[in-house]
Structure 1
Amino acid sequence: MHDALIFTPADVDLTRSPLRATLDAPTHVLGAFNPGFTRLPSGNLLMMVRIAEALSEPVQNGHVHAIRWTPTGYVRDAFPLDQVDMADPRQFELKGRPHRILGLTSLSWLLPVELDPAGCTVLHVHYDRAVAPAAGYQDYGVEDARISRIGERWYMTTCSVSAERHSTTLHISDNGLDYRLDGIILDHQNKDMLLFEGLVDGAFHALTRPLGEVYFAYPPDSPYAGGPAINVARSPDALHWRPLGAPGLRARKDSLSAMKIGGGTPPILTPDGWLILYHGVETRAQVGVYRTFWALLDRDDPTRILRLEDHNPLLEANPALTAPIADRLYLPTPVVFTTGIVDAGDHYIVASGEADLACRITHIGKALFA
């Protein structure tokens, strides 16, 4: 089985970053990870890689700085150190606020990386087609693309981050490589919206994973743990979405993902139903352990779960893969975050983010899903 890192921070040429034209501070690549994934008309594969570009010296003169996009360029905002908590290396939290308010010392943008049909070789890095912030609701970055080919179009959902809102945005492409922003489609924090790769009863469908400040308890004898869960929504046009009333996937108490679950790959149609790979998180340290699990949904009613594999992980973080770049690791727990799947005949090609650091490509035989 092929299982390797295909793209790492060292592969990014920051001289071609969209930040370079206006940002007045040195930066480095904190991570090149969580790629949207699809097959192009040529047969080659495309990863839409999240580049988390971080300030090399975020703390200066008693302040921590955040990068922010504006219509006239990128700027740095300074926050006094005595007013923030910097326990998480990826962000800082403002103290003494009635709500949890975060700042980021990095800003994410998306880089299209073209691979050979097997996903084993990088053929081209398309800096000229990078997706960067372009609106006020993206002033802290564009994150975690997921790409679904539906008919002759490619639909890419992204998480847009700003002080205004934490929303889901949609980009559309007619060739799989050039994407145009179509605006906000979910106006609340929802980091894992994945469009099904095909229509159900003539309508678009998507997995969503809304986040909130509070969740309510299941009965004590319920098998479910509560917390963030995967729901299903329906749309006539991929722009206007209505959540379905039936529940979707829920974290179960006796599984390895009792802390929370969330969408991974866009659902693809198989002879047995809609196959989805999703992430489940086990409580450990501050971040938790992220693993990849899978489920099958009914082809005609995707709220009906035909099979749920949440005990034996399909993928786990592999320290051997990141050993050559271990000096760049910054997360305290193992993380694999699967974000794309492509059919390759007798196997699937699966794209993941490894350790929030690099892009991992894994070939998985279809027999594992029997």
Structure 2
Amino acid sequence: MSMAFDQIVFDPRDVDLARSPLAGKIDAETYVLGAFNPGMTRLPNGNLLLMVRVAEALRQPIVDQHIHAIRWYDGGYTLDPWPLEHVDTADPRKFLMRGGGWKVMALTSLSWLLPVELSADGTKVVAVHYDRAVAPRAPYQCYGVEDARITKVGERYLMTTCSVSPERHATTLYTSADALDWQLEGIVLDHQNKDMLIFEGQIGGKYFAQTRPLGDLYFAYPPGSEWRAGPSINLASSPDALHWKPYDKPGIRPHAATLATARMGGGAPPVLTERGWLSLWHGVEPSGVVGIYRTYWSILDRDDPSLVVATSDTPVLEAAPALTEPMKELMYIDNVVFTTGIADAGDHYVVASGEADLACRITYVDKAVFS
């Protein structure tokens, strides 16, 4: 598929850490592990806004036989030391506590959200709004604010994020009239419900969202079923975007026949087309530690989004190593593209993705692909 535009538009080298919310607040050197997974929307002035996840990491997480985690606390930031003999440090981004009856981990980075304004066509950066950055400000965000997804419904912008703390890995909601000044509304989905995407428009007078509850136990489909058990994209509805009721019918489920989508989750907020709601989502093929992430599409019925009108097992987007080649010394994973935003641009869509958990990729995708 030929793409008129497919480039990295923002990467870790573009972040000025002197203007970070953490600047001057911790006694340790940090660096940008990734500037990625950007929520995207069109601003009132016509430009596009990326809400970039900046993962700010400790340059030397291990000091004096202790590994350190960054934590927001009471309006400031602190470093928590953990003795090395008590943890598994195989992954540089996180560490696991040894022992105990379940998995407990901490992070060597903390994520905050940076508003990056692009030209109307999405091809170049016109402003970086450090003064509007979204950083932790509540105990349920003490380990960071991650992976924004932005939807405009009527005249209101709605932004979901993952907020990370010891108590929960929850979905929080922010609202705005202009997509630059964000009001924190609080937790809207509880434990480990990631990739919450609010539909860009209401159905039957209600807000709808795709959700993705995670667990460590799934029940089997019967032998010979067309579906594969595991994480899937669920649905929920709400009268006010704050109080969500899970939908009684399943949403998009992984097919048993395709290993490439053995795991799946939401990508860009669903947008309405002539055929129904266009949903871009990610499928993960088991491979190595992380897996191979690709972007796929489905069209959902405009009145009942549990009905899949059309879908494709041919990926819309795959990882593009050539795009990250200029920053290969910063790479720590590969084979990952994670789509997080979509905007209408006439005969094509502007699609925003995180590339390799490292940088922000903008791709033009012809609307004919989804017909």
Cα distance in 1 between the residues matched to 2:117 and 2:213? 31
Please name the residue that 1:342 is paired with: 343
Whichever residue aligns with residue 324 of structure 1, its letter is P
Give the SS at the match of 2:260.
Answer: coil
Measured after TM superposition, the shift of residue 90 of structure 1 is 1.5
Please name the residue that 2:235 is paired with: 232
Give the SS at the match of 1:279.
Answer: strand
The C-alpha deviation readout for 1:258-315, integer Å capped at 9, x for no partner, is 4310000000000100001000000000100000000000001111110121x21100
Please name the residue that 2:322 is paired with: 320
Measured after TM superposition, the shift of residue 256 of structure 1 is 4.3
The aligned runs of 1:13-24 (5 Å cut-off) are: 13-24=16-27
The C-alpha deviation readout for 1:135-194, integer Å capped at 9, x for no partner, is 000000000000000000100000000011110000000011111100000111111100
Give the SS at the match of 2:317.
Answer: coil
The C-alpha deviation readout for 1:313-358, integer Å capped at 9, x for no partner, is 1000000000000000001x40000000000000000000000000
Please name the residue that 1:116 is paired with: 119
Which residue of the other structure, out of 268, 271, 274, is the alignment partner of 1:271? 274
Cα distance in 1 between the residues matched to 2:62 and 2:142? 20
Please name the residue that 2:365 is paired with: 364
Give the SS at the match of 1:257.
Answer: helix
Query: Does 1:280 find its partner at 2:283?
Result: yes
The C-alpha deviation readout for 1:33-87, integer Å capped at 9, x for no partner, is 0000000011000000000000000011111100000114100001111111112
Give the SS at the match of 2:70.
Answer: strand
TM-score (norm 2): 0.98
Give the SS at the match of 1:34.
Answer: strand
Please name the residue that 2:154 is paired with: 151
Which residue of the other structure, out of 93, 98, 101, is the alignment partner of 2:96? 93
Conserved 8 A contact 1:251-1:257: no
Which residue of the other structure, out of 27, 30, 34, is the alignment partner of 2:33? 30
Please name the residue that 1:54 is paired with: 57
Conserved 8 A contact 1:27-1:53: yes
Query: Does 1:214 find its partner at 2:209?
Result: no
Cα distance in 2 between the residues matched to 1:368 and 1:165? 39
Cα distance in 1 between the residues matched to 2:133 and 2:194? 20
The C-alpha deviation readout for 1:228-281, integer Å capped at 9, x for no partner, is 000110000000000011011111122243431000000000010000100000
Cα distance in 2 between the residues matched to 1:294 and 1:305? 10
Measured after TM superposition, the shift of residue 98 of structure 1 is 1.1
Whichever residue aligns with residue 193 of structure 1, its letter is M
Give the SS at the match of 1:313.
Answer: strand
Whichever residue aligns with residue 137 of structure 2, its letter is A
The C-alpha deviation readout for 1:112-134, integer Å capped at 9, x for no partner, is 00000000010000000000000
Q: Which moved more, 1:338-347 or 1:250-259?
A: 250-259
Give the SS at the match of 1:137.
Answer: helix
Whichever residue aligns with residue 366 of structure 1, its letter is K
Measured after TM superposition, the shift of residue 30 of structure 1 is 0.1
The aligned runs of 1:154-169 (5 Å cut-off) are: 154-169=157-172
> Matched residues, percent identical?
60
Q: Which moved more, 1:256-265 or 1:359-368?
A: 256-265
Cα distance in 2 between the residues matched to 1:72 and 1:199? 37
> Unpaired runs of 5+ in structure 2?
none
Please name the residue that 2:12 is paired with: 9
Measured after TM superposition, the shift of residue 213 of structure 1 is 1.6
> Unpaired runs of 5+ in structure 1?
none
Query: Does 1:183 find its partner at 2:186?
Result: yes
TM-score (norm 1): 0.98
Please name the residue that 1:242 is paired with: 245
Cα distance in 2 between the residues matched to 1:274 and 1:209? 18
Cα distance in 1 between the residues matched to 2:306 and 2:214? 19
* Alignment RMSD (CA, Å): 0.8
Cα distance in 1 between the residues matched to 2:259 and 2:279? 17
Tell me the matched-pair count: 368
Query: Does 1:259 find its partner at 2:265?
Result: no
Cα distance in 2 between the residues matched to 1:202 and 1:123? 37
Please name the residue that 1:298 is paired with: 301
Give the SS at the match of 2:323.
Answer: helix
Cα distance in 1 between the residues matched to 2:10 and 2:277? 29
